[in-house]
Amino acid sequence: MLLLNFSHPLTDAQKAQIEALTGEEIARVIAVPSQMDNARSFAEQIAEKVAAIPLSGEAWQTRPILIVLPAYNFAAVTLIAHLHGLMGYFPPVVRIRPVPDTLPPRYEVAEIINLQAVRQRARELRNSKSQP
């Protein structure tokens, strides 16, 4: 699996947690700088960042890809919209959380969120609520 990291560097322990949760080996991690310029269009900046990732159009649609989102919410939602356009589906994302009561602060992998499944469940809910 390819892991695209738009956030802080991942520790070996976090990578092991991701592999345990997905049941897949991480073949490669690509770190993508996530710093955003608030004076520029986020859509343009995200497009530039994604264009710099060395993947073909076919790879975006066929390779198993997992995303660590940027922490900045506006960048994250723009990235998700852009990736959906490239991939044809919502990619799964890694949720990182702080480990309670640790000094210095430490972070762990909380879950892998299957965004495509979230979307599908919401569509089913929408369809069931539209019935008379």
**34-91: per-residue pLDDT in tens?**
899 999 999 999 999 999 999 999 999 999 999 999 999 999 999 999 999 999 999 9
Mean pLDDT of the chain: 95
Q: Is the predicted pLDDT of residue 126 greater than 90, yes or no?
A: no
Tokens of 119: 């979307």
Output the pLDDT for position 77. Answer: 98
